[in-house]
Amino acid sequence: MPVDRRRIRGPDESQSPYHFISKESQKCLASGDRRSDDSQRGPLDIRPIFARCGLNSQAKGSAYIEAGNTKIICSVYGPRETERKDETDMKSGRLVADMRFAPFACHKRGAWVQGNEEKDLSLGLLESLRPGVCLHKYPRSQIDVCVMVLESDGPALSHAVTCASLALADAGIEMYDMVLGCTVRHTGTTQLLDPTFSEVQDDQDGVFVENQGSVTLSLMPNMNQVSGLQSDGVMEQESLKAAVQACIEGCYKLYPVIQHTLLKTVRKNAPPSEN
Amino acid sequence: MAADMRLPTVRKQVSLSGSKSAIASLVVPGDVITTDTGFMRGHGTYLDEEKLTASVAGEVERVNKLICVRPLKTRYNGEVGDVVVGRITEVQQKRWKVETNSRLDSVLLLSAVNLPGGELRRRSAEDELSMRDYLQEGDLISAEVQAVFSDGALSLHTRSLKYGKLGQGVLVQVSPSLVKRQKTHFHYLPCGSSIILGNNGFIWLYPTPGQQDEDAGGYYTSIEPVALSDREVISRLRNCILALAAHKVMLFDTSVLYCYESSLTHQIKDILKPEVMEEVVLQTRHRLADQEG
């Protein structure tokens, strides 16, 4: 068999160097009250949020949110008329939600084409937002919500829900209430609200910790209704209940900031009153 | 070709209007406006167990017993009798679909247009087949709202000689809330061009026609070249309208005219620069305030 002697080739089998990185460099669990990211927050504090509306002038409504290192932008288009495919469209409108991660958003480079995880997250986003929007006021119409995660540090779904409802409010779509999202990571006996990426990956030592999982919850604060709940991991019933309660409180803490952002946008852009 | 470049700087917002009682109540969706049951609810609100709650983010407006919330971005909500400017998007069996910046496309029925030549007769099958000869996809028309369907779509008609297909001119799109409701929306501006202020935010600027072609039924569109002076007037008007819209000044014939006159000292292309825009709008506001006061 002819062998190529002119070129120097590497070994026939090669493996990614990521397999060999020791993950102890990411010590996560907090000692006492400090979290892994050096900020001053305790285990039940959410990260400080920066939010602005009206970022994208082409879209009907848009919003940008930053929570720690997580950066998410959302654009809303619509309501647009759809062709009447079936009778259900005649009575109420349709909400279409799409969540994408930019390829540079995570530690490992992702692909532009939507994978299964993104489809799941889009569905979760849709389910969380739908109860909040007055779809019966938009018959035969379709509202498009497009979320793009620019950088993801921790579970992005909860912040995406918040960003999407800010964008919907910026677009003037009628809603029963704002929908806010929050995530809790439960490991053993500790609960961490609004976890970062390193706090979510905490089984690196190979030691299996019992009773660990994440809960993402979407809440409508004024109506006090939960519109979306997702959890993964294996948790005891009491921990799950405590995690849900912690999420609800986290959402209530988030509400004044979001309200303030929206009022600021309204104040800046309010049309002149007809006197 | 000269190009103009500038570095981004923070611009201070020039708040020009006098009345700042607009720090009235601003609400976000979900905020309770009132628990008093004596009020009627208008747009942008819903009733949740005796509590009147806002469903959009905006200002609360109270007119006697009616409470409504005006959102900061609206689509056009049509009322009967409004003048609109729209673009044909589809030609269907006995009607045209017109895009008017509202939630749903508006409908222009074949029976609601004037036939060319102004005849009054029952529409026949040949009329249906030659619909595309009258109005095609992409044409601009001016029309009046005849009725509003239950789902919010508008039914338009062009049953008057002042409505119909629009010929040469410039379309400017602004927010519908900036166009003031007046008795007439067709104006001949003394500066030399004409304007149609559509209630849906579409504004049409066109050169004043020399002689009216009355018997063409609104389908005669002149394709003669427009003189340079007319073009300059129309370009300046367009930039003025954009300047007024950027500063949220209500648009009606007087405000557009004042803005045009204030802008005569600048070149047409300079009007779109932020500082020139502010200066021109400030002068316009002063003149309008003087006129009222």
| pLDDT confidence of residue B19 | 45
Residue-wise pLDDT for A174-226, tens only, equals 999 999 999 999 888 888 888 888 888 765 555 667 778 889 999 999 989 99
Place of tokens 């939010």: A51
Residue B27's closest chain A neighbor by CA? A263
| Among A57, A58, A87, A176, the residue to mutate for chain B (most B Cβ within 10 A) | A176
- Could you report the predicted ipTM of this complex, rounded to two decimals? 0.72
Asked if A166 and A173 count as a contact pair (C-beta separation under 8 A), the reply is no
- B64 in a structural domain: yes
Torsion of the alpha carbons at A85, A89, A93 and A95, rounded to the nearest 10: -50
CATH code for the domain in which residue A83 is found: 3.30.230.70
Nearest to B156 by CA among B123, B109, B116, B196: B109
Nearest to B230 by CA among B260, B194, B263: B194
- Residue B31, domain extent: 26-71
- A251 in a structural domain: yes
A222 interaction partners in chain B (CB closer than 8 Å): 30-32, 53
Side by side, which strands form the sheet with A212-220?
Answer: A190-193, A180-187, A212-220, A225-234
Question: At A212, phi and psi to the nearest 5?
Answer: -130, 145
Which is more confident, A93 or A219?
Answer: A219
- B60 in a structural domain: yes
- A23 in a structural domain: no
B22 interaction partners in chain A (CB closer than 8 Å): 270, 273
- A12 in a structural domain: no
| pLDDT confidence of residue B136 | 87
Asked if A89 and A136 count as a contact pair (C-beta separation under 8 A), the reply is no
Instruction: Please identify among residues 73-92 of chain B the ones whose CB lies closer than 8 Å to any CB of chain A.
Output: 73-75
Residue-wise pLDDT for B162-212, tens only, equals 888 888 899 999 988 888 888 899 999 988 899 999 999 999 999 887 765
User: Which of A134, A139, A266 faces B58 most closely, judged by CB atoms?
Assistant: A266
Residue B283: CB atoms within 10 A of its CB come to: 16
A21 has pLDDT over 90: no
CATH code for the domain in which residue B31 is found: 2.40.50.100
- A33 in a structural domain: no
Number of domains into which chain A is organized: 1
Q: Where is A182: in which H helix or E strand? A: strand A180-187
Instruction: Please identify among residues 157-176 of chain B the ones whose CB lies closer than 8 Å to any CB of chain A.
Output: 175
Q: Where are the alpha helices (DSSP H) in B36-180?
A: 125-129, 131-134
DSSP β-bridge partners for residue B173: B202
- A61 in a structural domain: yes
- B56 in a structural domain: yes
Q: Where is B261: in which H helix or E strand? A: helix B253-262
Asked if A211 and A237 count as a contact pair (C-beta separation under 8 A), the reply is no
A262 interaction partners in chain B (CB closer than 8 Å): 28, 57
- B10 in a structural domain: no
Residue B17's closest chain A neighbor by CA? A272
Handedness of CA B248, B252, B258, B259 (dihedral sign): positive
Residue-wise pLDDT for A46-78, tens only, equals 888 999 998 888 899 999 999 989 999 999 997
Which is more confident, A24 or B77?
Answer: B77
- A2 in a structural domain: no
| pLDDT confidence of residue A30 | 46
Number of domains into which chain B is organized: 1
- Residue A254, domain extent: 40-269
B249 interaction partners in chain A (CB closer than 8 Å): 272
Handedness of CA B215, B221, B223, B226 (dihedral sign): positive
Residue-wise pLDDT for A225-238, tens only, equals 999 999 988 888 88
DSSP β-bridge partners for residue A61: A76
Asked if B179 and B251 count as a contact pair (C-beta separation under 8 A), the reply is yes
- A13 in a structural domain: no
> In this prediction, what percent of chain A has a pLDDT beyond 90?
43
Give the Cα separation of B134 and B199 in Å (integer): 24
Give the Cα separation of A254 and A65 in Å (integer): 12
Q: Is B39 helix (H, G, I), strand (E, B) or coil?
A: coil
Q: Is B259 helix (H, G, I), strand (E, B) or coil?
A: helix
Q: Contact A172/B57, CB-based, under 8 Å?
A: yes
A174 interaction partners in chain B (CB closer than 8 Å): 29, 44, 46, 55-56
Mean pLDDT of A84-105: 82
Q: How far is CA A51 from the centre of its chain?
A: 14
